[in-house]
Structure 1
């Protein structure tokens, strides 16, 4: 009897362990994609590491502080609450026709829950980090195939991507795709209303733009990051993702969704502002951020609200154009 009971306990432990390893079909797909990221980089590991920073608590829930003695550096009193730009500001017109973009990202708590359910952590400390993959083979091939030799060409290429909502492209409110899938697969999606074109919403465009910048060597992991936060596009507020880069001691934002977008009501692609968008536009013009939630790339992560994470000292600053 004792032996049967022991066998039963072992069997249950194996079943539970398997279920935790593969909780759903989406996570199995993510594992395959992550493994592709690591294997398809012509000898590159699929991740970039710089310096000797020690990363911190794996999968730490939002709002939960680090345990005492954690080796990771913490953000000290970052400026996170930013003022809403004046409605009289001419820059507001840039976003007047794009109210749908501010609802690309779910609320902060819902986003955390989604990523925890749908991301398998292998060699990253936080779910967000898995979506910036500068060493991925498809990312490297995209740079080479399109002759993207500098940051301006990379940003111009990003502005050619077409914004399409998750609900239309993926049939759900929130769905994060890895850069490899975004660049390689979305042109052939049966749900893609602009067949043959790279499409998706803000988080894919931001994560992929950051990946391309790092992979190209134009920026390193200390000087490019993805931002997630709460923005105000001409009176419409919601979650959004964009990129920030660090030059001459200052951060400034770049937003790939300034390119064309698909209008579902009109069933057509609407031209974006890419022809009039200057790389340094938001060094002098306001970008309508109301609150910052997260900063991250493949190496670093900061929860701006809880002041936790690991990052270089320059990550404590935010762009002046947010004020």
Structure 2
């Protein structure tokens, strides 16, 4: 990695942080972490749980996305490196580094957006449950689960929260999903969904009085879609498995992932069919069901 002369080197990590001639800090994150940073709602207070070396925290402050960041990690080693990086960039007054487990380091009302990235899905939901009093006073979650995506989406739905955006990407040959979750009071209001559908239809040429071009009631359509989602368990399962936002946005990356997975399943099932054990037969049934879900998802894309 190359650094320009006279610039602080960000220690022990893959982020590339430089200052140009106008002294504006230009920070290059990995595509995965850049997607995480881009999801953060600007202008608020952020806490980054599992901050590692504080790359994202520094980026958010340097680029004016966050007014203040709580950077927290449970490991002393990364925290020590993060402290050095924060000091190098003169951000001690804007980034509050804390050592502790999950949201235990954050008080209710201290943050607007909560970032939890690079952890397993079950660990993420455990952190959110343990820190529920903090989450209840926040507005947004930015989550990047490494696994158990279906579990995370079901958990969000059960809490009455609302996934407002979801991105799937490939970074260093691996698939990742990043989601923005509205945890404010509006996420518990059915009108939130209706407003989003209405806004989306406005972009398609409908008027702003809740009617589409043919005179149909958009809010009524939204309620109908919500009812269809709530009562159609098959469709609900597809959304939880692969992400409603990704499917509705016709994500090309998700399509590639589904096609890759479909090819892999053919080989896996073929191998299991030669094993005559009860476990192998049970696993075959599970994978055939996954094949059916993939075909349904590809139809939706």
Q: TM-score, normalised by structure 2?
A: 0.26
Q: Which has the higher helix share?
A: 2
Answer 1 or 2: higher relative contact order, Cα 8 Å, separation at least 6.
1
Instruction: State which structure, 1 or 2, has the greater radius of gyration over its C-alpha atoms.
Output: 2
TM-score, scaled relative to structure 1: 0.25
